[in-house]
Every structure is written in structure tokens, then in C-alpha cells.
């Protein structure tokens, strides 16, 4: 793993949370993006090397909506950048971690992503991400 790439935060409403985080971080949101397959709208902020990703559910039964229902708004996942996502997935699987997707999938912010089951990581949802290079 190369570095902590971003922290994902589940929010009820981007409309209210974007201006909140703009004030908090004293920086503008640089990108909003909908990920239809995950049924989320996302908003990104950059601070130094790291990013904050806000996640809003697009449906009442989406994973983010369910997360907020169970735990309330807050930190949803930690994302680590990797150079070789498939190699890292294999390594973690052989170490006994459970992958939530068998193959890397297309995430927000031009990334291939894979999630690890939080049951095996002390309750913390971990995302591996690798930038898609064209």
C-alpha cells in the first residue's frame, strides 16, 4: 500500500455537507461525481496528499443510507492507494482477509477499487484504490 488516499464519510445530504466541509477545510470541493453502480453521489476535497470523500445515498435502500440508519453519519471507510490492485487483492486474500468484490471495480475519481469486509479489519471498511491510467 502506498498511502492513505482518502477517508470516506457518509452524509445525509451533499447539499448541506459540501458547504460545511468547504468551511471546515477552507478549500473548495474540486469534484462531484455520481457512481450509479454504487448508488451514491460523491464529493471530493483535497488537503495536501490526502482527500476527503463525502458519500450521499441516491436511494433509501442503498448501502450509504443503510449505514447512516445503523450508525448515523460519520466515517465510512479508509482508502489506501496501491500500485497493483490485483496483486494486493491476492496478497490480502492469502492473508485471510475477505474481499467484498472478486475483481476490481470502477469507483469514483477515476479509480479501480476493491473493498475488504469490515468483519476482518476490526470493524473498519477498507478500500483499495488504484488510479486508472489511460
Q: Which residues would be at the binding site for Zn ion (CB under 5 A)?
A: 8, 53, 79, 127
- Considering the complex, state which of residue 53 and residue 88 has its C-beta at the smaller distance from Zn ion: 53
- Considering the complex, state which of residue 6 and residue 91 has its C-beta at the smaller distance from Zn ion: 6
Select from 56, 2, 3 the least CA-distant residue to 29: 56
Distance, in Å, from the CA atom of 75 to the CA atom of 97, rounded to the nearest integer, reads: 21
- Residue 86 CB, nearest approach to Zn ion (Å): 18
Q: Are 57 and 64 in contact (CB under 8 A)?
A: yes
- Residue 43 CB, nearest approach to Zn ion (Å): 12
The residue ranges of DSSP E strands in 14-103, in sequence order, are 31-35, 40-47, 50-57, 74-81
- Residue 19 CB, nearest approach to Zn ion (Å): 21
- Considering the complex, state which of residue 50 and residue 59 has its C-beta at the smaller distance from Zn ion: 50
Amino acid at each position: 500500500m502506498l498511502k492513505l488516499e482518502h477517508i470516506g464519510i457518509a452524509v445525509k445530504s451533499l447539499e448541506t455537507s459540501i458547504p460545511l466541509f468547504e468551511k471546515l477545510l477552507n478549500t473548495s470541493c474540486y469534484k462531484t461525481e455520481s457512481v450509479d453502480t454504487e448508488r451514491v453521489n460523491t464529493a471530493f476535497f483535497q488537503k495536501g496528499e490526502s482527500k476527503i470523500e463525502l458519500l450521499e445515498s441516491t436511494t433509501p435502500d442503498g448501502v450509504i443510507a443503510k449505514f447512516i440508519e445503523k450508525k448515523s453519519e460519520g466515517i465510512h471507510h479508509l482508502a489506501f492507494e496501491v500500485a497493483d490492485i490485483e496483486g494486493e487483492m491476492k496478497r490480502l486474500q492469502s492473508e485471510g482477509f475477505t474481499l467484498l468484490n472478486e475483481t476490481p471495480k470502477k469507483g469514483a475519481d477515476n479509480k479501480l477499487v476493491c473493498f475488504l469486509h469490515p468483519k476482518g479489519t476490526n470493524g473498519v471498511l477498507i478500500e483499495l484504490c488504484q488510479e486508472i491510467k489511460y
